[in-house]
Amino acid sequence: MATYEGYCVKCKEKRQFEGQEVTLANGRLAAQGTCPVCSTKMNRMLGVKK
């Protein structure tokens, strides 16, 4: 697992989270993990898959 920075909608703050890279249905890469404070699911869009 890698560390990413994303926005937690529930906490309304940017936070570091550990997550994994996944491919979304439209072919884009994203990092998905959970907020370390409130355990809400967090996403971070990454670059286009090559």
pLDDT tens for each residue of 39-49: 999 999 998 76
pLDDT tens for each residue of 6-36: 999 999 999 999 999 999 998 899 999 999 9
Enter the pTM of the model: 0.78
Instruction: Check: CB of residue 38 under 8 Å from CB of residue 27.
Output: no
Residues 43, 49, 50, CA angle at the centre, nearest 5°?
160
